[in-house]
Amino acid sequence: MPTTNRSLVRSTVILLTTGFVALVAIVAAAFWLGVRSQVHFDEVIAARDARTATVALRHSLEVAESSQRGYLLTGDGHYLKDYGPTHDLIPSQYESAAQLLSSYPQANQELARLKMAIDQKLSEMDQTIALKKAGRDTDALALVKSDKGEALMEEAQRFFSAVIDIANDRMAASAADQQRSARWLRWVSIIAALVIILVVGSSILTVFRYTRELAKARDEVSALNRDLEERVEERTADLAKANEEIQRFAYIVTHDLRAPLVNIMGFTSELEASIGSVQALIGKSVDNDDPVLEEAKLAAMEDLPEAIGFIRASTHKMDGLINAILKLSREGRRVLRPERVDLAEVLDVAAAAVQHQLNDAGGSIEFNVNVPSMWTDRLSLEQIFGNLLDNGVKYRSKERPLHIIVRARQESGDRIAIEIADNGRGIAEQDRERVFEPFRRSGAQDQPGEGIGLAYVRTVVRNLGGDITMTSSLGKGTSFHVTVPRHLANIGSIAA
Protein backbone atom coordinates (compact mmCIF):
# COMPACT_ATOMS: atom_id res chain seq x y z
CA MET A 1 0.00 0.00 0.00
CA PRO A 2 1.44 3.42 -0.91
CA THR A 3 2.74 5.52 1.97
CA THR A 4 0.64 8.67 2.26
CA ASN A 5 1.57 11.78 4.17
CA ARG A 6 -0.95 10.89 6.86
CA SER A 7 0.34 7.31 7.27
CA LEU A 8 3.91 8.62 7.31
CA VAL A 9 3.05 11.08 10.06
CA ARG A 10 1.18 8.41 12.02
CA SER A 11 4.03 5.89 11.67
CA THR A 12 6.59 8.53 12.61
CA VAL A 13 4.62 9.54 15.70
CA ILE A 14 4.23 5.90 16.80
CA LEU A 15 7.91 5.16 16.26
CA LEU A 16 9.05 8.33 18.01
CA THR A 17 6.70 7.62 20.92
CA THR A 18 7.98 4.06 21.19
CA GLY A 19 11.57 5.24 21.02
CA PHE A 20 10.90 7.92 23.64
CA VAL A 21 9.24 5.41 26.00
CA ALA A 22 12.13 2.98 25.49
CA LEU A 23 14.63 5.73 26.17
CA VAL A 24 12.81 6.81 29.33
CA ALA A 25 12.67 3.16 30.47
CA ILE A 26 16.39 2.75 29.81
CA VAL A 27 17.25 5.89 31.73
CA ALA A 28 14.96 4.99 34.65
CA ALA A 29 16.21 1.39 34.82
CA ALA A 30 19.82 2.46 34.48
CA PHE A 31 19.38 5.06 37.21
CA TRP A 32 17.65 2.62 39.58
CA LEU A 33 20.18 -0.16 38.95
CA GLY A 34 23.00 2.34 39.32
CA VAL A 35 21.62 3.41 42.70
CA ARG A 36 21.28 -0.22 43.76
CA SER A 37 24.82 -0.98 42.63
CA GLN A 38 26.09 1.98 44.63
CA VAL A 39 24.18 0.75 47.71
CA HIS A 40 25.66 -2.72 47.34
CA PHE A 41 29.11 -1.27 46.78
CA ASP A 42 28.76 0.85 49.93
CA GLU A 43 27.71 -2.25 51.86
CA VAL A 44 30.80 -4.10 50.62
CA ILE A 45 33.03 -1.20 51.65
CA ALA A 46 31.34 -0.95 55.07
CA ALA A 47 31.69 -4.72 55.64
CA ARG A 48 35.31 -4.59 54.56
CA ASP A 49 36.05 -1.65 56.90
CA ALA A 50 34.29 -3.40 59.78
CA ARG A 51 36.26 -6.57 59.12
CA THR A 52 39.53 -4.62 58.87
CA ALA A 53 38.85 -2.75 62.14
CA THR A 54 37.98 -5.99 63.91
CA VAL A 55 41.11 -7.73 62.62
CA ALA A 56 43.25 -4.71 63.66
CA LEU A 57 41.73 -4.74 67.17
CA ARG A 58 42.32 -8.48 67.50
CA HIS A 59 45.90 -8.09 66.24
CA SER A 60 46.65 -5.30 68.75
CA LEU A 61 45.23 -7.39 71.60
CA GLU A 62 47.35 -10.38 70.53
CA VAL A 63 50.50 -8.21 70.26
CA ALA A 64 49.88 -6.85 73.79
CA GLU A 65 49.38 -10.38 75.18
CA SER A 66 52.51 -11.65 73.39
CA SER A 67 54.59 -8.77 74.87
CA GLN A 68 53.20 -9.54 78.35
CA ARG A 69 54.00 -13.26 78.15
CA GLY A 70 57.53 -12.64 76.77
CA TYR A 71 58.29 -10.22 79.59
CA LEU A 72 56.87 -12.56 82.26
CA LEU A 73 58.91 -15.49 80.95
CA THR A 74 62.25 -13.69 80.45
CA GLY A 75 62.04 -10.57 82.55
CA ASP A 76 63.61 -8.75 79.59
CA GLY A 77 62.18 -5.24 79.26
CA HIS A 78 62.79 -5.41 75.53
CA TYR A 79 59.51 -7.32 75.16
CA LEU A 80 57.60 -4.35 76.55
CA LYS A 81 58.64 -1.91 73.77
CA ASP A 82 55.41 -2.71 71.79
CA TYR A 83 53.21 -3.14 74.82
CA GLY A 84 52.77 0.52 75.72
CA PRO A 85 51.89 1.84 72.26
CA THR A 86 49.61 -1.09 71.59
CA HIS A 87 47.96 -0.75 75.00
CA ASP A 88 47.19 2.90 74.26
CA LEU A 89 45.95 2.11 70.73
CA ILE A 90 43.42 -0.56 71.70
CA PRO A 91 40.69 1.80 73.12
CA SER A 92 40.61 3.93 69.93
CA GLN A 93 40.58 0.79 67.78
CA TYR A 94 37.67 -0.51 69.80
CA GLU A 95 35.73 2.73 69.30
CA SER A 96 36.35 2.56 65.54
CA ALA A 97 35.26 -1.06 65.38
CA ALA A 98 32.17 -0.36 67.51
CA GLN A 99 31.18 2.54 65.21
CA LEU A 100 31.62 0.42 62.10
CA LEU A 101 29.68 -2.48 63.66
CA SER A 102 26.78 -0.29 64.73
CA SER A 103 24.89 -1.27 61.52
CA TYR A 104 25.05 -4.96 62.56
CA PRO A 105 22.13 -5.61 64.93
CA GLN A 106 23.51 -9.01 65.93
CA ALA A 107 26.77 -7.41 67.10
CA ASN A 108 25.33 -4.72 69.40
CA GLN A 109 24.89 -7.01 72.45
CA GLU A 110 28.32 -8.58 72.00
CA LEU A 111 30.11 -5.23 71.83
CA ALA A 112 29.43 -4.51 75.49
CA ARG A 113 30.75 -7.90 76.50
CA LEU A 114 33.77 -7.43 74.28
CA LYS A 115 34.44 -4.07 75.91
CA MET A 116 34.32 -5.67 79.33
CA ALA A 117 36.54 -8.56 78.26
CA ILE A 118 39.11 -6.21 76.70
CA ASP A 119 39.17 -3.96 79.78
CA GLN A 120 39.60 -6.96 82.08
CA LYS A 121 42.27 -8.44 79.85
CA LEU A 122 44.22 -5.17 79.77
CA SER A 123 43.85 -4.88 83.54
CA GLU A 124 45.09 -8.44 84.02
CA MET A 125 48.11 -7.79 81.78
CA ASP A 126 48.93 -4.51 83.54
CA GLN A 127 48.71 -6.24 86.91
CA THR A 128 51.00 -9.14 85.98
CA ILE A 129 53.57 -6.78 84.45
CA ALA A 130 53.49 -4.61 87.56
CA LEU A 131 54.04 -7.67 89.82
CA LYS A 132 56.92 -8.79 87.61
CA LYS A 133 58.53 -5.38 87.77
CA ALA A 134 58.13 -5.44 91.59
CA GLY A 135 60.00 -8.77 91.78
CA ARG A 136 56.94 -10.69 92.78
CA ASP A 137 57.34 -13.34 90.13
CA THR A 138 55.42 -15.95 92.11
CA ASP A 139 52.34 -13.75 92.41
CA ALA A 140 52.54 -12.79 88.78
CA LEU A 141 52.86 -16.44 87.73
CA ALA A 142 50.00 -17.43 89.98
CA LEU A 143 47.79 -14.77 88.36
CA VAL A 144 48.67 -16.08 84.92
CA LYS A 145 48.01 -19.67 85.91
CA SER A 146 44.56 -18.74 87.18
CA ASP A 147 43.50 -18.88 83.46
CA LYS A 148 41.42 -15.74 83.89
CA GLY A 149 43.35 -13.92 81.15
CA GLU A 150 43.12 -16.92 78.82
CA ALA A 151 39.36 -17.11 79.30
CA LEU A 152 38.99 -13.41 78.54
CA MET A 153 41.13 -13.80 75.44
CA GLU A 154 39.11 -16.76 74.19
CA GLU A 155 35.90 -14.83 74.69
CA ALA A 156 37.33 -11.92 72.68
CA GLN A 157 38.52 -14.32 69.97
CA ARG A 158 35.04 -15.80 69.63
CA PHE A 159 33.61 -12.34 69.15
CA PHE A 160 36.30 -11.46 66.64
CA SER A 161 35.66 -14.65 64.65
CA ALA A 162 31.91 -14.09 64.68
CA VAL A 163 32.24 -10.47 63.52
CA ILE A 164 34.70 -11.45 60.78
CA ASP A 165 32.33 -14.18 59.58
CA ILE A 166 29.41 -11.73 59.57
CA ALA A 167 31.48 -9.19 57.62
CA ASN A 168 32.55 -11.86 55.15
CA ASP A 169 28.94 -12.94 54.68
CA ARG A 170 27.87 -9.34 54.23
CA MET A 171 30.60 -8.73 51.64
CA ALA A 172 29.68 -11.90 49.77
CA ALA A 173 25.96 -11.06 49.79
CA SER A 174 26.57 -7.46 48.70
CA ALA A 175 28.93 -8.60 45.97
CA ALA A 176 26.33 -11.06 44.75
CA ASP A 177 23.66 -8.33 44.78
CA GLN A 178 26.00 -6.04 42.89
CA GLN A 179 26.64 -8.71 40.26
CA ARG A 180 22.91 -9.33 39.97
CA SER A 181 22.26 -5.59 39.46
CA ALA A 182 24.99 -5.53 36.85
CA ARG A 183 23.36 -8.45 35.03
CA TRP A 184 19.99 -6.75 35.14
CA LEU A 185 21.55 -3.54 33.83
CA ARG A 186 23.20 -5.49 31.04
CA TRP A 187 19.92 -7.18 30.06
CA VAL A 188 18.02 -3.88 30.23
CA SER A 189 20.67 -2.28 28.01
CA ILE A 190 20.49 -5.17 25.54
CA ILE A 191 16.69 -5.11 25.38
CA ALA A 192 16.64 -1.32 25.12
CA ALA A 193 19.27 -1.43 22.39
CA LEU A 194 17.16 -3.96 20.49
CA VAL A 195 14.09 -1.74 20.87
CA ILE A 196 16.01 1.31 19.69
CA ILE A 197 17.48 -0.64 16.77
CA LEU A 198 13.96 -1.80 15.89
CA VAL A 199 12.58 1.74 16.13
CA VAL A 200 15.44 3.25 14.13
CA GLY A 201 15.26 0.43 11.58
CA SER A 202 11.51 0.86 11.22
CA SER A 203 11.95 4.63 10.87
CA ILE A 204 14.64 4.20 8.24
CA LEU A 205 12.49 1.64 6.41
CA THR A 206 9.45 3.95 6.53
CA VAL A 207 11.45 6.94 5.33
CA PHE A 208 13.09 4.82 2.64
CA ARG A 209 9.72 3.57 1.41
CA TYR A 210 8.27 7.08 1.46
CA THR A 211 11.34 8.49 -0.29
CA ARG A 212 11.18 5.75 -2.92
CA GLU A 213 7.49 6.38 -3.49
CA LEU A 214 8.17 10.13 -3.53
CA ALA A 215 10.88 9.62 -6.15
CA LYS A 216 8.49 7.41 -8.12
CA ALA A 217 5.79 10.06 -7.88
CA ARG A 218 8.29 12.72 -8.90
CA ASP A 219 9.27 10.65 -11.93
CA GLU A 220 5.60 10.23 -12.81
CA VAL A 221 5.05 13.98 -12.39
CA SER A 222 8.11 14.65 -14.55
CA ALA A 223 6.72 12.31 -17.21
CA LEU A 224 3.35 14.04 -16.98
CA ASN A 225 5.07 17.41 -17.16
CA ARG A 226 6.98 16.35 -20.25
CA ASP A 227 3.77 15.10 -21.80
CA LEU A 228 2.02 18.30 -20.73
CA GLU A 229 4.84 20.41 -22.17
CA GLU A 230 4.56 18.54 -25.45
CA ARG A 231 0.81 19.03 -25.47
CA VAL A 232 1.24 22.71 -24.55
CA GLU A 233 3.77 23.11 -27.36
CA GLU A 234 1.35 21.43 -29.75
CA ARG A 235 -1.54 23.57 -28.54
CA THR A 236 0.67 26.67 -28.70
CA ALA A 237 1.66 25.83 -32.25
CA ASP A 238 -2.01 25.22 -33.11
CA LEU A 239 -2.96 28.46 -31.40
CA ALA A 240 -0.23 30.36 -33.22
CA LYS A 241 -1.41 28.84 -36.49
CA ALA A 242 -5.03 29.71 -35.67
CA ASN A 243 -4.00 33.22 -34.66
CA GLU A 244 -2.08 33.58 -37.89
CA GLU A 245 -5.14 32.36 -39.81
CA ILE A 246 -7.34 34.83 -37.93
CA GLN A 247 -4.94 37.67 -38.69
CA ARG A 248 -4.78 36.63 -42.34
CA PHE A 249 -8.55 36.35 -42.43
CA ALA A 250 -8.93 39.78 -40.82
CA TYR A 251 -6.50 41.22 -43.31
CA ILE A 252 -8.27 39.60 -46.26
CA VAL A 253 -11.71 40.58 -45.00
CA THR A 254 -10.74 44.19 -44.35
CA HIS A 255 -8.93 44.33 -47.68
CA ASP A 256 -11.96 42.94 -49.49
CA LEU A 257 -14.27 45.26 -47.60
CA ARG A 258 -12.20 48.25 -48.61
CA ALA A 259 -12.82 47.67 -52.38
CA PRO A 260 -16.66 48.01 -52.23
CA LEU A 261 -16.28 50.77 -49.64
CA VAL A 262 -14.07 52.72 -52.04
CA ASN A 263 -16.69 52.23 -54.73
CA ILE A 264 -19.42 53.46 -52.39
CA MET A 265 -17.33 56.49 -51.47
CA GLY A 266 -16.59 57.19 -55.16
CA PHE A 267 -20.21 56.87 -56.29
CA THR A 268 -21.27 58.98 -53.31
CA SER A 269 -18.95 61.72 -54.50
CA GLU A 270 -20.35 61.44 -58.04
CA LEU A 271 -23.90 61.46 -56.68
CA GLU A 272 -23.07 64.52 -54.61
CA ALA A 273 -21.66 66.24 -57.69
CA SER A 274 -24.68 65.23 -59.83
CA ILE A 275 -27.22 66.48 -57.35
CA GLY A 276 -26.02 70.01 -57.99
CA SER A 277 -27.27 69.78 -61.56
CA VAL A 278 -30.58 68.39 -60.44
CA GLN A 279 -30.96 71.17 -57.89
CA ALA A 280 -30.18 73.79 -60.59
CA LEU A 281 -32.70 72.27 -62.99
CA ILE A 282 -35.46 72.11 -60.39
CA GLY A 283 -34.67 75.64 -59.25
CA LYS A 284 -35.42 76.96 -62.78
CA SER A 285 -38.91 75.45 -62.80
CA VAL A 286 -41.62 78.12 -62.60
CA ASP A 287 -44.71 75.99 -62.02
CA ASN A 288 -44.78 76.14 -58.25
CA ASP A 289 -48.29 74.77 -58.07
CA ASP A 290 -47.28 71.31 -59.34
CA PRO A 291 -47.21 69.03 -56.24
CA VAL A 292 -44.93 66.54 -57.96
CA LEU A 293 -42.49 69.26 -58.75
CA GLU A 294 -42.60 70.49 -55.18
CA GLU A 295 -41.95 67.02 -53.84
CA ALA A 296 -39.01 66.57 -56.25
CA LYS A 297 -37.68 69.97 -55.25
CA LEU A 298 -37.85 69.02 -51.53
CA ALA A 299 -36.07 65.75 -52.24
CA ALA A 300 -33.36 67.41 -54.29
CA MET A 301 -32.80 70.32 -51.97
CA GLU A 302 -33.08 68.63 -48.57
CA ASP A 303 -33.57 64.87 -48.51
CA LEU A 304 -30.86 63.84 -50.97
CA PRO A 305 -28.10 66.07 -49.50
CA GLU A 306 -28.94 64.83 -46.00
CA ALA A 307 -28.89 61.19 -47.12
CA ILE A 308 -25.61 61.67 -48.97
CA GLY A 309 -24.17 63.30 -45.83
CA PHE A 310 -25.18 60.27 -43.75
CA ILE A 311 -23.71 57.92 -46.35
CA ARG A 312 -20.44 59.86 -46.43
CA ALA A 313 -20.20 59.93 -42.59
CA SER A 314 -20.89 56.19 -42.40
CA THR A 315 -18.35 55.35 -45.09
CA HIS A 316 -15.72 57.48 -43.38
CA LYS A 317 -16.46 55.73 -40.09
CA MET A 318 -16.28 52.32 -41.75
CA ASP A 319 -13.03 53.32 -43.42
CA GLY A 320 -11.59 54.26 -40.02
CA LEU A 321 -12.67 50.93 -38.53
CA ILE A 322 -11.18 48.98 -41.44
CA ASN A 323 -7.91 50.89 -41.06
CA ALA A 324 -7.91 50.09 -37.31
CA ILE A 325 -8.47 46.39 -37.98
CA LEU A 326 -5.69 46.43 -40.58
CA LYS A 327 -3.43 48.15 -38.08
CA LEU A 328 -4.06 45.45 -35.45
CA SER A 329 -3.62 42.73 -38.07
CA ARG A 330 -0.36 44.19 -39.37
CA GLU A 331 1.00 44.53 -35.82
CA GLY A 332 0.32 40.86 -35.15
CA ARG A 333 2.21 39.91 -38.32
CA ARG A 334 5.06 42.37 -37.89
CA VAL A 335 8.50 40.81 -37.32
CA LEU A 336 10.12 42.20 -34.17
CA ARG A 337 13.63 43.57 -34.53
CA PRO A 338 15.47 43.38 -31.20
CA GLU A 339 18.19 45.92 -30.48
CA ARG A 340 19.79 47.56 -27.46
CA VAL A 341 17.31 50.14 -26.16
CA ASP A 342 17.64 52.81 -23.48
CA LEU A 343 14.19 52.98 -21.89
CA ALA A 344 14.71 56.52 -20.58
CA GLU A 345 15.51 57.69 -24.10
CA VAL A 346 12.37 56.04 -25.52
CA LEU A 347 10.23 57.68 -22.82
CA ASP A 348 11.82 61.08 -23.52
CA VAL A 349 10.95 60.73 -27.22
CA ALA A 350 7.36 59.75 -26.38
CA ALA A 351 7.07 62.71 -23.96
CA ALA A 352 8.44 65.11 -26.55
CA ALA A 353 5.69 64.04 -28.98
CA VAL A 354 2.97 65.28 -26.60
CA GLN A 355 4.90 68.19 -25.08
CA HIS A 356 3.02 70.85 -27.09
CA GLN A 357 -0.30 69.42 -25.89
CA LEU A 358 1.01 69.41 -22.32
CA ASN A 359 2.06 73.02 -22.63
CA ASP A 360 -1.38 74.00 -23.95
CA ALA A 361 -3.00 72.21 -20.98
CA GLY A 362 -0.51 73.61 -18.46
CA GLY A 363 0.61 70.06 -17.63
CA SER A 364 3.89 68.40 -16.68
CA ILE A 365 5.61 65.00 -16.77
CA GLU A 366 7.78 63.62 -13.98
CA PHE A 367 10.24 60.77 -14.67
CA ASN A 368 11.74 58.27 -12.23
CA VAL A 369 13.48 55.79 -14.52
CA ASN A 370 16.65 54.02 -13.43
CA VAL A 371 16.85 50.64 -15.15
CA PRO A 372 19.55 48.94 -17.23
CA SER A 373 19.41 48.92 -21.00
CA MET A 374 17.02 46.49 -22.69
CA TRP A 375 17.31 44.18 -25.70
CA THR A 376 13.93 44.56 -27.37
CA ASP A 377 11.98 46.08 -30.25
CA ARG A 378 12.32 49.86 -30.11
CA LEU A 379 9.35 50.61 -32.37
CA SER A 380 7.02 48.56 -30.16
CA LEU A 381 8.10 50.49 -27.05
CA GLU A 382 7.64 53.82 -28.85
CA GLN A 383 4.13 52.80 -29.91
CA ILE A 384 3.22 51.61 -26.40
CA PHE A 385 4.34 54.70 -24.50
CA GLY A 386 3.30 57.09 -27.25
CA ASN A 387 -0.28 55.77 -27.06
CA LEU A 388 -0.34 55.76 -23.22
CA LEU A 389 0.99 59.32 -22.90
CA ASP A 390 -1.35 60.52 -25.63
CA ASN A 391 -4.20 58.77 -23.82
CA GLY A 392 -3.26 60.59 -20.59
CA VAL A 393 -3.21 63.97 -22.35
CA LYS A 394 -6.44 63.28 -24.27
CA TYR A 395 -8.49 62.29 -21.21
CA ARG A 396 -7.17 64.92 -18.79
CA SER A 397 -9.42 66.54 -16.21
CA LYS A 398 -10.56 70.10 -16.84
CA GLU A 399 -10.66 70.77 -13.09
CA ARG A 400 -6.87 70.71 -12.50
CA PRO A 401 -3.55 70.91 -14.38
CA LEU A 402 -2.46 67.59 -15.84
CA HIS A 403 0.41 65.83 -14.06
CA ILE A 404 1.86 62.55 -15.35
CA ILE A 405 4.37 60.43 -13.42
CA VAL A 406 6.43 57.76 -15.19
CA ARG A 407 8.24 55.20 -13.02
CA ALA A 408 10.32 52.20 -14.05
CA ARG A 409 12.06 49.49 -12.00
CA GLN A 410 13.65 46.11 -12.53
CA GLU A 411 11.79 43.12 -11.08
CA SER A 412 12.63 39.47 -10.49
CA GLY A 413 12.81 37.24 -13.52
CA ASP A 414 14.80 39.89 -15.42
CA ARG A 415 11.66 41.89 -16.19
CA ILE A 416 11.07 45.63 -16.37
CA ALA A 417 7.96 47.19 -14.78
CA ILE A 418 6.83 50.62 -16.02
CA GLU A 419 4.03 52.65 -14.46
CA ILE A 420 2.40 55.66 -16.16
CA ALA A 421 0.10 57.44 -13.70
CA ASP A 422 -1.97 60.59 -14.34
CA ASN A 423 -4.44 62.73 -12.42
CA GLY A 424 -6.97 62.79 -15.24
CA ARG A 425 -10.67 62.07 -15.30
CA GLY A 426 -10.27 58.39 -14.40
CA ILE A 427 -12.28 55.37 -15.54
CA ALA A 428 -15.39 53.90 -13.94
CA GLU A 429 -15.04 50.47 -12.38
CA GLN A 430 -17.37 48.75 -14.85
CA ASP A 431 -15.29 50.08 -17.79
CA ARG A 432 -11.80 49.17 -16.54
CA GLU A 433 -11.55 45.96 -18.54
CA ARG A 434 -13.63 46.84 -21.55
CA VAL A 435 -11.32 49.75 -22.47
CA PHE A 436 -8.80 47.12 -23.64
CA GLU A 437 -11.35 45.70 -26.08
CA PRO A 438 -11.36 46.95 -29.68
CA PHE A 439 -13.85 49.73 -30.48
CA ARG A 440 -14.95 50.02 -26.83
CA ARG A 441 -14.64 53.37 -25.05
CA SER A 442 -15.65 54.72 -21.66
CA GLY A 443 -16.87 58.02 -20.28
CA ALA A 444 -17.89 61.05 -22.28
CA GLN A 445 -17.25 60.57 -26.03
CA ASP A 446 -15.80 64.05 -26.51
CA GLN A 447 -12.53 62.97 -28.13
CA PRO A 448 -11.95 61.69 -31.68
CA GLY A 449 -10.89 58.10 -32.25
CA GLU A 450 -12.11 54.58 -33.04
CA GLY A 451 -11.48 53.06 -29.60
CA ILE A 452 -8.59 50.79 -30.52
CA GLY A 453 -5.74 52.63 -28.76
CA LEU A 454 -5.56 50.49 -25.62
CA ALA A 455 -6.46 47.33 -27.53
CA TYR A 456 -3.54 48.07 -29.83
CA VAL A 457 -1.24 48.74 -26.85
CA ARG A 458 -2.20 45.42 -25.26
CA THR A 459 -1.53 43.61 -28.54
CA VAL A 460 1.93 45.19 -28.84
CA VAL A 461 2.81 44.53 -25.18
CA ARG A 462 1.80 40.88 -25.41
CA ASN A 463 3.70 40.59 -28.68
CA LEU A 464 6.80 41.56 -26.64
CA GLY A 465 6.03 38.82 -24.11
CA GLY A 466 4.66 41.21 -21.48
CA ASP A 467 1.35 42.32 -20.05
CA ILE A 468 -0.50 45.51 -19.20
CA THR A 469 -2.94 46.16 -16.34
CA MET A 470 -4.70 49.23 -15.07
CA THR A 471 -5.88 50.76 -11.80
CA SER A 472 -8.13 53.80 -11.82
CA SER A 473 -10.33 55.94 -9.63
CA LEU A 474 -13.12 57.89 -11.31
CA GLY A 475 -12.46 61.61 -11.05
CA LYS A 476 -8.96 61.14 -9.57
CA GLY A 477 -6.74 59.52 -12.19
CA THR A 478 -5.50 56.36 -13.87
CA SER A 479 -2.34 54.24 -13.64
CA PHE A 480 -1.22 51.86 -16.38
CA HIS A 481 1.24 49.10 -15.36
CA VAL A 482 3.33 47.61 -18.17
CA THR A 483 5.63 44.63 -17.56
CA VAL A 484 7.95 43.39 -20.31
CA PRO A 485 11.01 41.11 -20.39
CA ARG A 486 14.33 42.93 -20.41
CA HIS A 487 15.61 40.56 -23.10
CA LEU A 488 13.24 39.86 -25.97
CA ALA A 489 14.85 36.42 -26.45
CA ASN A 490 13.39 35.39 -23.07
CA ILE A 491 9.92 35.01 -24.61
CA GLY A 492 11.22 32.17 -26.77
CA SER A 493 10.50 33.77 -30.13
CA ILE A 494 10.96 37.19 -31.63
CA ALA A 495 8.56 36.73 -34.46
CA ALA A 496 4.82 36.96 -34.18
CATH of domain 5-212: 1.20.120.30
pLDDT digits (tens, 9 = 90+) for 81-108: 877 788 888 888 878 777 777 776 666 6
The answer to whether the beta carbons of residues 265 and 315 sit under 8 Å apart is: yes
Strands 374-377 and 338-341: antiparallel
Q: Using CA atoms, how far apart are residues 174 and 358, in angstroms rounded to an integer?
A: 108
Strands 415-422 and 403-411: antiparallel
Instruction: Report the candidate in 403, 273, 247 with the shortest Cα–Cα distance to residue 329.
Output: 247
Phi, psi of 411 (to 5 degrees): -115, 175
Phi, psi of 127 (to 5 degrees): -65, -45
pTM: 0.42
Q: Using CA atoms, how far apart are residues 18 and 21, in angstroms rounded to an integer?
A: 5
Of 27-36, 107-116, 193-202, 259-268, minimum mean pLDDT range? 259-268
Residue 493 has a pLDDT of: 40
The answer to whether the beta carbons of residues 153 and 125 sit under 8 Å apart is: no
Residue 326 has a pLDDT of: 60
Highest-confidence range of 85-89, 110-114, 486-490, by mean pLDDT? 85-89
Between 108 and 377, the more confident residue is 377
Partners of 409 in the β-ladder? 417
Q: Using CA atoms, how far apart are residues 116 and 119, in angstroms rounded to an integer?
A: 5
Residue 494 has a pLDDT of: 39
Number of other CB atoms surrounding residue 47 within 10 Å: 23
pLDDT digits (tens, 9 = 90+) for 130-183: 877 777 877 777 777 676 777 777 777 777 777 777 777 777 777 777 777 777
For domain 335-491, the CATH superfamily is: Histidine kinase-like ATPase, C-terminal domain (3.30.565.10)
Q: Using CA atoms, how far apart are residues 85 and 431, in angstroms rounded to an integer?
A: 122
Percent of the chain with pLDDT over 70: 71
399-426: average pLDDT: 89
**38 has a pLDDT exceeding 60:** yes
Rounded (10°) angle between helices 105-133 and 148-283? 140
pLDDT digits (tens, 9 = 90+) for 442-454: 555 555 555 567 7
Q: How confident is the model at residue 203 (pLDDT cuts 50, 70, 90)?
A: confident
Q: Using CA atoms, how far apart are residues 83 and 66, in angstroms rounded to an integer?
A: 9
Q: Using CA atoms, how far apart are residues 310 and 315, in angstroms rounded to an integer?
A: 9
Residue 285 has a pLDDT of: 58
